[in-house]
């Protein structure tokens, strides 16, 4: 033999030896030689086991010697027949084995020729058959399961009985492989059921350690769950407090909306009233023009009559013309004042809110001079009806236009500013209750302000104003936190009836008594900063 062939034979023998060694390796699958799952009781890998499980078989028992079993052996799986099914050729096979065979033949036919009908042959005599011609033989299946005696599948088990009885035996067979009861906790051993007491005795400390570890894990999880539960309760409490705060803010917004709506309705009515008065004045002016024209015509007729009567009529007509001029001039001034948006919407009331500003304001002076001139003018106090009506109209507007009343001016100003915002050196606060005390604390920086007001009891109205209500000496107290401008030195709470009754507020949070006077906070609290 040549050296080359000897070398080739040697390599083939080495490869065969490697394959044989791999098959003997307990860590590899006996079929595909791939690594098995660690601690697996089988000598096959999971993939091969899955493939095997998908192929149906009969009863894989060893028949007791002395019994004839060949006629009850399935020619497909070579096991005792399960679900005995007879073909037209009278051969018996497992029902599941036939179904698996027919499924394979059907898939094969579809691949070769999609519309071709599959052909089914008996595995013994190769006689063709149709699926509808096979039949289940219940009596034979019952005989196999009840009369044929078989050995237990477990090695070394001495049990012998029928397949039907095996269903009872297998539940208590001492030779069956079982997992350790602590398998899920970490003990991965498998052994015969009869060796369970021995295994438990030998591994008692390990089992107790596994149990202790589980108890520690559960205790830790219980503590974590309790902490999580407490945190969730705190979160729920914060959310409930937030909801209460939102309800208060919503109520405040609704009140503000209602106030603004009422103010809008009032202004709308005033505008409609002014329009109506303007129409009436124009009608009156047109009527007077018509009267002048009629009088002029009458005058022309009277020129032809008595000169003395003409002179008298002329005097009256001149008087009427003068009254009309006065009326038209007054209407023009009144209309100019009332049509001013600042007067109609009261948006500049802060310019003449205080008496010292009221006296020096030019528009206020002009209005008051205008009213005084009308009240002192003899023409408005005479017998001219429309001039007297004009006088009454002007005096009616004197109560709301550039009003001399401190209460009216303060109310008009309060209606034009928002709650909790520093506007025109003033802050409007609307407590939900009549308060007996008030405190104000100023912060030098916004960081200090935000740090103080981050508590849930505070309600932030704007970037630099917050408040909350509390009980002090049995009475309600309005607590105010502010971040005032650097130029601010003093803060006062205004009295609604008298300007001189304003109270100076300390800026360190000291609670100041309002002396039982509700007019410091009703209808709202007005703070002046200077």
- The pLDDT, as a whole number, for residue 1 is 43
How far is 71 from 68, CA to CA, in rounded Å?
Answer: 7
- The pLDDT, as a whole number, for residue 430 is 87
How far is 220 from 212, CA to CA, in rounded Å?
Answer: 12
Where are the chain's structural domains?
54-175, 356-425, 478-511
Cα angle 186, 189, 194; round to 5: 130
- The pLDDT, as a whole number, for residue 270 is 80
How far is 469 from 459, CA to CA, in rounded Å?
Answer: 10
How far is 122 from 129, CA to CA, in rounded Å?
Answer: 7
How far is 141 from 199, CA to CA, in rounded Å?
Answer: 41
Q: Mention every residue, 6+ apart, whose C-beta is less than 8 A from residue 500.
A: none
Q: Mention every residue, 6+ apart, whose C-beta is less than 8 A from residue 15.
A: none
How far is 285 from 249, CA to CA, in rounded Å?
Answer: 53
* Per-residue H/E/C for 457-487: CCEEEECCEEEEEEEECCEEEEEEEECCCCC
Structure tokens of 41? 């009781």
- The pLDDT, as a whole number, for residue 333 is 77
Q: What is the pLDDT along the chain (530 residues), one digit of tens a residue?
A: 445 555 665 666 566 555 555 455 667 776 677 777 766 656 677 777 777 767 788 888 888 887 766 788 899 888 898 999 999 999 999 999 999 999 988 888 888 877 778 889 998 999 999 989 899 999 988 998 888 888 888 877 888 888 888 888 877 777 777 778 777 777 877 767 777 787 788 888 877 787 888 888 888 889 989 999 989 988 898 888 888 888 888 888 888 888 888 888 887 888 888 888 878 888 888 887 787 788 777 767 766 655 555 566 666 777 777 777 777 777 777 777 777 766 766 667 778 888 888 888 888 888 888 888 777 877 777 777 777 778 788 878 777 788 888 888 888 888 888 888 888 789 989 887 888 999 999 998 999 999 999 988 899 998 889 999 999 888 999 999 999 988 888 999 999 899 888 999 999 999 999 888 888 888 889 998 98
Q: 504 forms bridges with which residues in the sheet?
A: 492
- The pLDDT, as a whole number, for residue 17 is 56
- Eight-class DSSP state of 194: G
Q: 493 forms bridges with which residues in the sheet?
A: 503, 527
- The pLDDT, as a whole number, for residue 275 is 82
- The pLDDT, as a whole number, for residue 121 is 92
How far is 144 from 169, CA to CA, in rounded Å?
Answer: 17
Cα angle 39, 44, 46; round to 5: 75
Confirm or reject CATH 3.30.465.10 for domain 54-175, answering yes or no: no
- The pLDDT, as a whole number, for residue 2 is 46
Cα-Cα-Cα-Cα torsion 136, 138, 144, 145, nearest 10 degrees, comes to 120
How far is 527 from 429, CA to CA, in rounded Å?
Answer: 8
Q: Is 247 helix (H, G, I), strand (E, B) or coil?
A: helix
What's the gap between Cα 34 and its chain centre?
A: 54
């Amino acid at each position: 033999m040549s050296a080359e062939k000897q070398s080739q034979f040697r390599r083939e023998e080495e490869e065969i030896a490697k394959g044989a060694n791999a098959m003997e390796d307990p860590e590899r699958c006996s079929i595909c030689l791939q690594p098995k799952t660690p601690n697996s009781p089988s000598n096959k890998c999971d993939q091969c086991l899955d493939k095997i499980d998908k192929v149906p078989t009969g009863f894989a028992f060893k028949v007791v010697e002395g019994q004839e079993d060949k006629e009850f052996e399935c020619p497909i799986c070579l096991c005792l027949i399960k679900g005995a099914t007879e073909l037209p050729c009278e051969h018996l096979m497992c029902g599941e084995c036939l179904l698996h065979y027919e499924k394979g033949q059907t898939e094969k036919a579809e691949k070769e020729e999609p519309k071709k009908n599959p052909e089914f042959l008996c595995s013994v005599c190769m006689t063709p058959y149709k699926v509808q011609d096979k039949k289940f033989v219940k009596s034979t299946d019952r005989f196999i399961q009840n009369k044929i005696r078989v050995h237990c599948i477990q090695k070394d088990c001495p049990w012998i009985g029928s397949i039907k009885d095996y269903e009872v035996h297998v539940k208590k067979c001492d030779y069956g492989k079982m997992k350790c009861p602590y398998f899920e906790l970490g003990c991965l051993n498998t052994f015969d059921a009869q060796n369970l007491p021995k295994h438990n005795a030998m591994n008692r400390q390990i089992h107790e350690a596994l149990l202790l570890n589980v108890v520690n894990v559960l205790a830790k999880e219980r503590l974590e769950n309790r902490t999580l539960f407490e945190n969730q309760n705190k979160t729920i409490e914060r959310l409930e407090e937030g909801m209460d705060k939102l309800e208060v803010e919503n109520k405040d917004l609704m009140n503000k909306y209602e106030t603004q709506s009422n103010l809008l309705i009032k202004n709308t009515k005033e505008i409609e009233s002014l329009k109506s008065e303007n129409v009436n004045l124009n009608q009156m002016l047109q009527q007077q023009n018509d009267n002048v024209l009629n009088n002029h015509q009458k005058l022309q007729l009277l020129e032809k009559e008595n000169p003395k009567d003409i002179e008298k009529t002329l005097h009256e007509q001149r008087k009427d013309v003068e009254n009309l001029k006065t009326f038209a001039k007054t209407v023009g001034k009144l209309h100019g004042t009332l049509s001013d948006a600042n007067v109609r919407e009261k948006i500049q009331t802060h310019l003449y809110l205080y008496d010292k500003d009221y006296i020096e304001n030019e528009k206020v002076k002009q209005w008051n001079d205008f009213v005084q001139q009308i009240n002192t003018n003899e023409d408005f106090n005479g017998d001219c009806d429309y001039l007297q009506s004009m006088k009454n109209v002007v005096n009616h507007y004197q109560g709301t236009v550039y009003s001399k009343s401190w209460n009216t001016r303060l109310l008009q100003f309060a209606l034009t500013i928002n709650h909790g915002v520093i506007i025109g050196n003033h802050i409007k606060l609307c407590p939900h209750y009549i308060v007996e005390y008030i405190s104000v604390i100023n912060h030098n920086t916004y960081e200090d302000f935000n740090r103080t007001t981050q508590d849930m009891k505070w309600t932030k109205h704007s970037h630099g104003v917050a408040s909350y209500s509390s009980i002090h000496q049995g009475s309600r107290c309005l607590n105010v936190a502010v971040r005032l401008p650097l130029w601010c030195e003093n803060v006062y709470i205004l009295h609604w009836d008298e300007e001189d009754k304003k109270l100076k507020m300390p800026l360190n949070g000291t609670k100041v008594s309002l002396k039982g006077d509700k007019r410091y906070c009703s209808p709202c609290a007005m703070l002046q900063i200077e």
